[in-house]
Chain A
Amino acid sequence: MSKQINVALIGNPNTGKTSVFNALTGLNQQVGNYPGITVEKKEGVCKLSRGIKAHIIDLPGTYSLNASSLDENVVIELLLNKNDKDFPDIAVVVSDVENLKRNLLLFTQIKDLEIPTLLVINMADRMRYKGISLDIDYLEAELQTKIALISTRKKEGIDNLKNLIANYKELSVTPCINPSDIDKEYFDNLQKAFPNQLLYKLWLVITQDVNFGKTDRKEIEAVANFKTKSKADLKRLQQKETIKRYQFINNALKHGQTIDASQAKDLRSKLDRILTHRIWGYFIFFVILLTIFQAIYDWSSVPMDFIDSAFASLSEWTKIQLPQGAFTDLLAEGIIPGLGGIVIFIPQIAFLFLFISVLEESGYMSRVVFLMDRIMRRFGLSGKSVVPLISGTACAIPAIMATRNIESWKERLITILVTPFTTCSARLPVYLIIISLIIPEGRFLGLGYQALTLMLLYFIGFGIAVLSAYILNKVLKIRSKTFFVVEMPNYKLPMFKNVAITVLEKTKSFVFGAGKIILAISIILWFLASYGPGDNFNNAESIINTEYASQQLSEDEINQHIASYKLEHSYIGIAGHAIEPAIRPLGYDWKIGIAIVSSFAAREVFVGTLATIYSVGSDDEATIKNRMAAEVNPILGGPLFNFASGISLLLFYAFAMQCMSTLAIVKRETNSWKWPTLQLFIMSGFAYVVALIAYQLLK
């Protein structure tokens, strides 16, 4: 007989909670969102003994049940709502053996909610290096729980952990502290007012702003209004509560844990002496960034070229193999090039997420936050803004969500507003293809010109982001409390499994998320490019045949002329011509205009659109790049993609706000249409002006 239980994994950040989740579920996991908010929800399944199946939720990392961010709110909302379908049968609190004392604070809070709570002490392999020894039996008795001492790195103790989870019914639910010890009069009155409720739960509801499930909402609101004390007094009680909790913890650890400091090997302080050094620290950070960009450019060019030509061949092959007709054309000219435009991203996105997750997992990212805080503050940002700005190089969407741990609203808002200026991976295909067309190959000091141009574009993105932050900081009149607390975790060698799963999950969700839009737009574009109104389009063949009747042209050449005449008079051609006056001063023709318009939904559509437009009606097996290189400027002659128009396009894409998903996320995170609307018009207007100036100066 099989039975399913809900298991909630809870823990401080940097305790290896995700490693425990990965060890329990392997690839049996899925990432979604909590309904209505963009907090990532990770859940998975693990088979335990005696036919029990565990449904495991990896809750966002939190230091305490007193939530200070949206992510942390998720934890407390779930734990306080018994009616939630995910309400845990057992809470598994993951702690790190080196930070046991602090990690236990959260443990005592959860235990006080009278949920069966199991304590996992992770990173047991580090005990030897740090001279730590634990008396597990004693600690189990003092903390009134079961303890699983494990090492996810050495894969030790996982089976024992599974057994302990399966036996969740044996766990004690005795609370750790009694709220009445904090302030007898206040808490006794509170209990009298709500005799059927758990006192600690009432206290949590009073001290924070949490949304609860519908069912007990009325009752909860009554509790939240039970305010017989001022805010400052409540905070004083919270401090007293925290002191009580640490007394309880210290009491347990006094005999349960011994640390022989002489045994400790201190890698941390040695590394920190260099990595957070006021000169070397910055130098190393710069070198790391440089390496990442060079690596992404070099390593992904091979698979990208391969993907590009593979899709060109596939398209050609489809045309030959399938019977002629509209469906074959849609497949070969619409869907396959469109898909190619998605798949070509995979190498770079994977590399970017690889580097970012290694930097995060190793603990280095916190050092960057420390180093950059003072500098960033001058621009109205926080040291924590560095993380969104760096992850913005992968995608602005997770980057904007990563601003949630910035405590000051003003710093956070500015970070959200400027993050889309950083060069996200969706800009990369546009950059790469244009750079390869207009920048010569060759090397300078061992770095390729093309790689240097790309790096320059990244710096321009960061530069404009920081500059606009500076302006916003002066313009925005928002007063918000600023404080800044960032944990400096131990350095750790990133675990292969964690990094691999992150890269896989992020790439997958990015490709499928963006892929849907790109595919849909490719199909629409194909229709618009393959059909047109009126006689001009329908009679293209006879018109061309008459026009060129006097010239001796081969059948191929005639067909070329027919195809381009048809395209020009298709729906898309008409639309393109309509906007041409606005974009001609920037050096673009109507085809580029179409690509720009369609890429307002998502930048990466640009290459796919050009691929679709150029492949409609052409038979030869050519890559997108070859087709673009062959385009001729209809007015001036010479290649359409020359240095001036290329630079103008690069700058346009560097600054324009062309991503509907980002706008949607900004709306969600700022809870207002005002900010995304401003972003759209200011960024795109600025992009237009800069591209215009660049082209007029260079042409």
Chain B
Amino acid sequence: MQYTLAELKRGERAIITDVSSIHIPLKLLEMGCLPGNLVELVQLAPFKDPMYLNINGTHLAIRKETAVHILIEKQG
């Protein structure tokens, strides 16, 4: 089932299936936020925003408003 990255829960893992490149800064793509890569939600700040992620071994934080433009497929 298709979700956006914003719907990932703490500790869950997923595979990135699509990114809407117009809404996503190039910098994020270059840091590994690309289709096919594994993403894990490490920590959430209060109000579930920003999100602390581990994408393909790179640890970074992004805001929820960016995360909704990234589609994922949740893993087991």
The interface of chain A, by Cβ under 8 A from chain B, is 63-64, 66, 68, 98-99, 101-102, 105, 232, 235-236, 238-239, 242-243, 246, 268-269, 272-273, 276, 278, 366, 369-371, 373-374, 383, 407, 482-490
Contacts and interface: CB of A to CB of B under 8 A. Distances in A.
Contacts of B1: none
B58 A102 contact: yes
Contact of B31 (A63, A273, A484): A63
A278 B43 CA distance: 9
Interface string B14-27: 00000101101111
A486 B45 contact: no
A35 B52 CA distance: 38
A276 B47 CA distance: 14
Given A99-B58, A235-B26, A269-B42, A246 B34 contact: yes
Interface of B: 19, 21-22, 24-32, 34-35, 42-47, 49-50, 52, 56-63, 65-66
Contact of B22 (A68, A235, A366, A489): A235
Contact of A485 (B34, B43, B46, B60): B60
Given A99-B57, A102-B31, A487-B60, A383 B50 contact: yes
A64 B30 contact: yes
B46 to A, nearest CB: 5
Chain B interface main SS type: mixed
Given A374-B45, A483-B63, A483-B66, A101 B57 contact: yes
* Residue picked from B47, B61, B63, most chain A C-beta under 10 Å: B61
Contact of A101 (B25, B49, B56, B60): B56
Given A236-B21, A239-B21, A374-B46, A66 B30 contact: yes
Given A235-B21, A373-B61, A486-B61, A102 B32 contact: yes
Nearest to B22: A232
A660 B21 CA distance: 43
Nearest to B23: A483
Contact of B59 (A239, A373, A383, A489): A489
Given A68-B25, A272-B42, A370-B61, A484 B50 contact: yes
Nearest to A486: B61
Contact of B25 (A246, A483, A487, A488): A483
A489 B65 CA distance: 22
Contact of B63 (A278, A366, A373, A487): A373
Contacts of A276: 43, 45, 52
Contacts of A235: 21-22, 26
Contacts of A278: 44-46
User: In the complex, which of the residues B32, B56, B63, B66 has the most CB atoms of chain A within 10 Å of its own CB atom?
Assistant: B63
Contacts of B31: 63, 102, 485, 487
A66 B28 CA distance: 12
A371 B45 contact: yes
B27 to A, nearest CB: 5
B49 A486 contact: no
A373 B51 CA distance: 10
A484 B21 CA distance: 15
A242 B34 CA distance: 9
A235 B31 CA distance: 15
Given A101-B56, A485-B62, A242 B30 contact: yes
Contacts of B62: 483-486
B25 A407 contact: yes
A102 B45 contact: no
Give the residue among B25, B44, B59, B60 with the most A Cβ atoms within 10 A.
B59
Contacts of B24: 483
B47 A374 contact: yes
Given A269-B42, A485-B60, A63 B30 contact: yes
12 contacts: A63-B31, A238-B26, A239-B26, A239-B29, A246-B34, A482-B63, A483-B63, A484-B61, A485-B28, A485-B60, A486-B61, A487-B59
A471 to B, nearest CB: 23
A66 B43 contact: no
A373 B30 CA distance: 22
Given A268-B59, A483-B28, A486-B61, 10 more contacts: A64-B30, A105-B30, A272-B42, A276-B52, A278-B44, A371-B45, A373-B61, A374-B46, A407-B25, A484-B62
Contacts of B45: 276, 278, 370-371, 373-374
A66 B27 CA distance: 8
Contacts of B57: 98-99, 101-102
B59 A485 contact: no
Contacts of B32: 101-102, 246
B26 A68 contact: yes
A461 to B, nearest CB: 25
B26 A488 contact: no
A695 B32 CA distance: 58
A484 B52 CA distance: 12
Nearest to A268: B59
Contacts of A383: 50, 61
Contacts of B19: 239
B43 A272 contact: yes
Nearest to A65: B30
A66 B34 CA distance: 17
B25 to A, nearest CB: 5
